[in-house]
């Protein structure tokens, strides 16, 4: 087992149609408005951003995300990451029966941050729990953002 490799999957039910959810998710620079653990996002160019995030554990992760597959018609938004985490993350949005969206989040990364690599064996359960807390807060934040009418969406 590679203790530095992580795969995550989450499923969110959201109260807006896929096109509206996609419009919010593609604006990475706005994530700090609704996702508490995303502390800062800076636009670097046409298809790349720098993001800093922190959940419960006392450290920040910094990544550069570059556009991979960006397909609003199919509801797929994928980025490639470099920095403290190297790999990819993908949203896949499909309509739900209630008029909302079923948002599947998948991420596969290798940790590059030296401290996390040194603590890989004993820290793995805490790192995974940290991710769960972050995703739960993101779902709540995005739901509230969509319900209050997210400006410009």
Residue 41, in any domain of the structure: yes
Residue 152, in any domain of the structure: no
- pTM, rounded to two decimals: 0.92
Residue 14, in any domain of the structure: yes
In tens, the pLDDT along 99-134 reads: 999 999 999 999 999 999 999 999 999 999 999 999
CB 123 within 8 A of CB 131: no
**Domains: count for the chain:** 1
Distance CA 112, CA 53 (A): 15
Domain range enclosing 123: 5-147
In tens, the pLDDT along 37-83 reads: 999 999 998 789 999 999 999 999 999 999 889 999 999 999 999 99
Residue 153, in any domain of the structure: no
Distance CA 112, CA 132 (A): 20
């Amino acid at each position: 087992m590679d203790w530095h490799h992580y795969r995550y999957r989450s499923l969110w039910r959201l109260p807006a149609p896929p096109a509206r959810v996609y419009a919010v998710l593609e604006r990475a620079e706005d994530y700090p408005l609704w996702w508490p653990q995303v502390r800062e996002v800076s636009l670097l160019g046409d298809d790349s951003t720098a993001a800093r995030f922190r959940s419960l554990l006392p450290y920040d992760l910094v990544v550069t995300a570059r556009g991979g597959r960006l397909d609003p018609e199919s509801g797929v938004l994928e980025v490639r990451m470099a920095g403290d985490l190297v790999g990819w993350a993908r949203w896949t949005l499909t309509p739900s029966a209630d008029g909302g969206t079923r948002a599947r989040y998948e991420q596969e990364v290798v940790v590059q941050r030296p401290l996390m690599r040194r603590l890989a064996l004993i820290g793995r359960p805490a790192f995974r729990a940290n991710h769960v807390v972050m995703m739960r807060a993101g779902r709540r934040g995005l739901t509230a953002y969509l319900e209050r009418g997210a400006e410009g969406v």
